[in-house]
Structure 1
Amino acid sequence: MVRLRRRWALGLLLGGVSAAALGTTEPVLGRHRTGTLVRRPGPPVPAENRAPGEPWWPDSGGLAADDRQRQIQGYASATSVAPGESIDFHVAVNSASRFRISIHRLGWYGGAGARTLLTSREFQGSPQPVPPSDPRTGAIACQWPVSWTLRVPGHWTSGLYQAVFQSTDGWRACTPFVVRDDRRAAALCVVLPATTWQAYNQWPMDRRNGKSLYNGYGATGLRNPLLRAREVCFDRPYADEGMPSQFDKDQDAVQWLERSGYDVSYATSLDLHTGRLDPTRHRGIVFCGHDEYWSREMRLAAEAAVAAGTSLAFFGANSIYWHARIRPADDGRPERVVACAKAVADPDADGSGPTTTWRALRTPEQALIGVQYNGVVLTPQPLVVRSADHWVWAGTGVANGDRIPGLVGGEADGLRRGTPQPTGVDAAILSRSPYPAAQGGRRVQNAHVYETPKGAVVFATGTLNWTMALNRPGVQDERIKRATANVLDRMVGRSAGATGQGRPTPPTPA
């Protein structure tokens, strides 16, 4: 029998379980306080995906902007908003011309991948400057005027959205944002890694001005890590056409989750930081992408959630690696700057400690996730199955030693000997995959899962290529889809088929 967490079971006793907890896609019967049976609406995301869709970034019909010419680019005033709130868009057009902004919700939509919700009227665009970087921190913060303010309609469904800027002469760019659902607790909340998106953003990539938390440009026009910024600001476009680093893998996760009919809502890493996202309201939190930069507030919230029985799924790798500080813009607007000095000698260290690796702070990521980053994968490698009789692999047909091609790629995690790991839990290593590391030599990737006495499941794929196997044409793998569904179904209590099949192999360092 599927285990029911206490607060969910209590709902059954008090008059019926919601469609959200069940993960159903149709309305369910509930009982009004008068005793009358009423139909309650099912989860909004499956209903939203029955609407007709169209690609938000079609293969034809526009030219992608770039940072050399900056034909059209823009940024948003917030990373997330709730229905009824407003979000500003700041757009620059390099040769003065008119433009429109269209708003698209990303999802499954029968394979179309998005639905267009509205298109603005035409605006007159004008060039805007690339401001100089802050001489102390390297941050680049634009002060472009507001081009358009969107008040998010109350009926819009929580999701990952894209604002697309298109000029009348055919150039286009975009910027992402999230619409939250602060009123209703979905079974799963998907967290988009906004802090990591900005950390990697080197706008403008013009070989002169751009800076990220990784590189700046030297006199030769080549990237130089010695000239990197130690702060980056959301008040600027994302590089070139506006899609953040690894954004395609975030899209893969979103499409598969919505195609699979899960009851989901959406938030960003900044919502976890501020407390707008309370993980304990949900049965599980899905960190869908490359989620490398975490503030102290984010980590404490995730740890408290697991302690309370909320599950976590890490679909990427190299998560919770850097301790970051989130601060306001110079004019006081909150959550606009991500700071990471990447050194113990942090000139701006505060009560949260220096912005360096979590390992240097003696709180390694493995203590929460179960595994931790151990290298950059030089060339994609097969994931080698271990613990094939574990419930995660149930129904996949795999055997120990089976190789799933190309699944270990980008960056990888592994279980590290001598490093703290969760205690008092039921844990298993799900793969043991050797790979050639860009740092030299060969290392071993591990997917990992553990369950706490409170019923929380913490799952880590240990690779950046996992979500490609969920959704990407030509890369999809039915075994990975089934294993991922087993994990999420166990988190939300949706499927009795997720019960264990045999004892897991005890975790031992690779």
Structure 2
Amino acid sequence: MAVYAAHDVLVAGAGRRMAEDNPLAGSGARLSDTIGHPKASGDREGQIQGYASATSVSQGQVIDFHVSVHAEQSYRIAVFRLGDYGGKGAWLRTTSAELQGRRRTVPTADPTTGVIACDWPVSWSLRIPSDWRSGLYQAVFTTEDGDVGSTPFVVREPARSADILMVVPFTTYQAYNMWPKNGHTGKNLYRGYNKAGRIGGTEERAHKVSFDRPYSGAGVPNWFEMDTSFLRWAERSGLDVAYASSLDLHDGTIDTSRYRALFFPGHDEYWSKPMLDSAKKAVSAGSHLAFLGANNIYWHVRMEASADGRANRIMACYKTSPDPDRDRSGATTRWRVISPNQRQAEQGVLGIQFNGIVQRPAPLVVKGSGHWLWAGTGLREGARLPRLVGVEADAYDPKAPSPAGSRRTLLAESPYLAKLPKASQRQVQHTALTEMPNGAMVFVAGTFHWALALDHPRYWNRHIQTATRNLTNRMLRRQT
């Protein structure tokens, strides 16, 4: 198949910085319009769905798209760079020629591991132009009938230093991906279908998941809006941001020590040992970490090759089941139970750790209002920011380890009701800043709704936006 060399719908100078690209007029619509498109693809019908050959690609490299169309007809692939773009949320970079669609086989799950891996042929290949900026991109598939599907990927610039590296959590995206939700086939690392055709529990879940498959539905991963909310806010704020996939931390494609700060704005729950080592390397080099969600670095995973030998296309996480292939990194279970006395608990890196699923959104309660994080917000001690503690929460655990020589400052202390399997329990959420002996800082929001407060219409909060600006200024050594 010929490789398509993209041309821009809007032309930008090759040396233009990210912050200078952003004011250009966008094209397309916010991602929510694609998700809610009246003809968005579903897994049962599979109107049009596809996946990319990689989670990230550099300028000059080729990325392949593998697409299935439920009925033979033509379709096109439009590639958007996601950002603010005057509120439009996306910039159309290129569109394929007309392609002919075919229905591809939905594979069955492996009877031992539950892995579902597609072997669809390449439908379209795109060589990334040298002037495409690093960013989070979305390939949108549209049939002649108007059906829509999509898949995300990152364009990286590993040779360019930037103030901030935003890491997109593709490992966690895939852990939650239950494609295909067709009533009998789909599995993820949490559940699968039972014999009655209903979604079951841990007995039906997979132990391994493949990146060679579409994301369920319209192709938008779970909690993608956390990442897109931050990137829109960051680029509108003029921050110098480069982008990477979580797998770039795993395979060493990205040198994390090149950046002043690494931001993890999304739900970043599934980490391999090389990913964790990469983050620790950044802190040791004096770079800062910022996690704008909760329940981070919770499950230990192992990356494996696909059946045809392509590296890092299968992710294993046996969780509470015996891991038959455990290696020197340990079994693929919770980090906090891999070694005795929770020595590898997430708090040992982050300063706080996961402590509960939030039954219903609760106010985030400000603590330490005189701290620089809250400067300019006008918030007083005990101020309550409505509905900002949501989905999952973190807190300081005095029984878990802390980073050696560190100083922890709690900046929110929020009561909430945690949902347990058969009951509820009152818990407390913390937002925390942990300062290391070398000056590196690790910030953890401790709630999913912090990132959404930056640019999601339902959770938009000016106080959180000011606090996050204070955080980036301090991490980038600017005066707040």
Query: TM-score interval w.r.t. the shorter chain?
Result: over 0.9
Alignment partners' CA distance in 1, 2:260 and 2:378: 28
| Aligned position for 2:225 | 248
Aligned to 1:73: 49
Q: Which moved more, 1:283-292 or 1:391-400?
A: 391-400
Distance 2:15 2:294 in 1: 33
Counterpart in the other structure of 2:75: 99
Cα separation, 1, equivalents of 2:238 and 2:24: 14
Find the counterpart in structure 2 of residue 294 from structure 1: 271
Deviation of the 1:304 alpha carbon:
2.0
Partner of 1:189: 165
1:127 to 88, 103, 112: 103
**Secondary structure at the residue paired with 2:427?**
strand
Partner of 1:306: 283
Count of residue correspondences: 457
- The answer (yes or no) to whether the contact 1:344–1:354 under 8 Å persists in 2 is no
The answer to whether the aligner puts 1:272 opposite 2:249 as a matched pair is yes
Q: Which has the larger radius of gyration?
A: 1
Residue type matched to 2:297 in 1? I
Change (3 A) 1:368 1:96: same
Displacement after TM superposition at 1:41 (Å) = 9.7
Alignment of 1:37-436 (within 5 A): 44-54=17-27, 55=29, 57=31, 58=33, 63-225=39-201, 226-343=203-320, 345-361=322-338, 362=342, 363-436=344-417
The whole-number CA distance in structure 2 between the counterparts of 1:384 and 1:206 is 42
CA contact (8 A) 1:73 1:241 kept: yes
CA distance in 2, matches of 1:399, 1:303: 34
Task: Look up the equivalent residue of 2:79 and give its one-letter code.
Answer: I
SS in 2 for 1:63: coil
Deviations 1:332-379 (A, max 9, x none): 111101110003731111121100000101300001111100111010
- Please say if 1:485 is aligned against 2:466: no
Asked if the contact 1:446–1:461 (Cα under 8 Å) also holds between the matched residues in 2, the reply is yes
Name the residue aligned to 2:479.
Answer: 496
| CA deviations over 1:75-111 (Å, ceiling 9, x no partner) | 0000000010000000000111110000000001111
Unaligned runs of 5+ in 1: 1-39, 498-510
Asked if 2 retains the 8 angstrom alpha-carbon contact of 1:189 and 1:267, the reply is: yes
Q: Which consecutive unaligned segments of at least 5 residues does structure 2 have? A: 1-12
Give TM-score, length-normalised by structure 1: 0.88
- Counterpart position of 2:7: none
- In 2, Cα distance between the equivalents of 1:167 and 1:129? 18
CA RMSD of aligned residues (A): 1.5
Equivalent residues of 2:367, 2:381 under 8 A apart: yes
Q: Structure 2 length as normaliser, TM-score?
A: 0.93
**Alignment of structure 1 residues 22-37 onto 2, 5 Å:** none
Q: How far is 1:396 from its partner?
A: 1.1
Measured in 2, the distance between the counterparts of 1:474 and 1:352 equals: 41
Match of 1:460 in 2: 444
Cα offset, 1:475, TM superposition: 2.5
Give the share of equivalent positions with the same residue, in percent.
48
Runs of 4+ aligned residues of structure 1 deviating over 2 Å after TM superposition are 40-43, 56-62
Distance 1:373 1:426 in 2: 19
Partner of 1:444: 428
Q: Indicate conservation of the 8 Å contact 1:342/1:355, yes or no.
A: yes
Greater shift in the superposed pair: 424-433 or 71-80: 424-433
Query: The residue matched to 2:139 in structure 1 has which SS?
Result: strand
